[in-house]
Amino acid sequence: MAIDEALLETMENPNNPPVIRFYGFSPATLTYGRFQRIKKAINLKKLREDGISFVRRPTGGHAVLHDEEITYSVVVSRKHIDPFRKRTVYNFIAKILLAGLTKLGVNARINEARIGDIRNPNCFATRGEYEIVSKAGKKLIGSAQTTTRYGALQHGAIPIGPSLFSISKYLDMEENPEKKSGISEYATYINHELNKNVTFDICIETFVVAVKEILPVEISELTMEEKKRADQLFNEKYNTEEWNYLY
């Protein structure tokens, strides 16, 4: 999360190129939305008992369990996409994600309308406009976005295995226990759609190839300035109780 925000800040210089990043979490981590009220939605005691890390995202949306999945991240400046609107950014990125899934052999499409209960704290319980769903309409990629005066950050989870369904035991929904069941009815994952197992590395490589076919990209590393800023954000924000227990 700290690296994603540090990269977003680089968009303050409109001459900097956009960045597309693919990464994973170790250990497994639960992230929750910038405005999500964790005291009413997330069982922090159970997370600690199971050794699951947790962190508040700089973007909105609901809780995601990052395990057996790829996390993608895209930062763009306002000059990179015209007109610069949230929907335009979502649509642009959706086409890239869809290309990666297609190259893997997954039959998927871009969702056209919101489906599901927006009050459900599980990100994969609802399907938003421009999110990616399977041929059967089950959610394949969950995404969240934030915009600033100089750019946008959008990131999300691409489940490879069934671990996304384990999130139900970390959600505190005593008032609506029925929402804990039936997650597989509205979400799915890559290995299930392919009916075979593919690895994290293969998925990353495939998405990178797909991106290269669409955009003139270069493989790069974080600069020293970006690493320094990410470390600062980690220490002063994402690793603090003030941020993670905001609500």
Q: Which residues are catalytic?
A: 123
Backbone φ, ψ for residue 134 (5° rounding): -75, 175
3-class secondary structure per residue, the chain: CHHHHHHHHHHHCCCCCCEEEEECCCCCEEEECCCCCHHHHECHHHHHHCCCEEEECCCCCCEEEECCEEEEEEEEECCCCCCCCHHHHHHHHHHHHHHHHHHHCCCEEECCCCECCCCCCEHHHCECCCCEEECCCCEEEEEEEEECCCEEEEEEEEECCHHHHHHHHHECCCCCHHHHCCHHHCECCHHHHHCCCCCHHHHHHHHHHHHHHHCCCCCCCCCHHHHHHHHHHHHHHHCCHHHHCCC
**Identity at 172, one-letter amino acid code:** D
Q: Are strands 64-66 and 53-56 parallel, antiparallel or unpaired?
A: unpaired
CA 182-107-22 angle, 5° bins: 85
Taking CA atoms, 71 is separated from 26, 142, 146, 147, in Å, by 12, 10, 16, 19
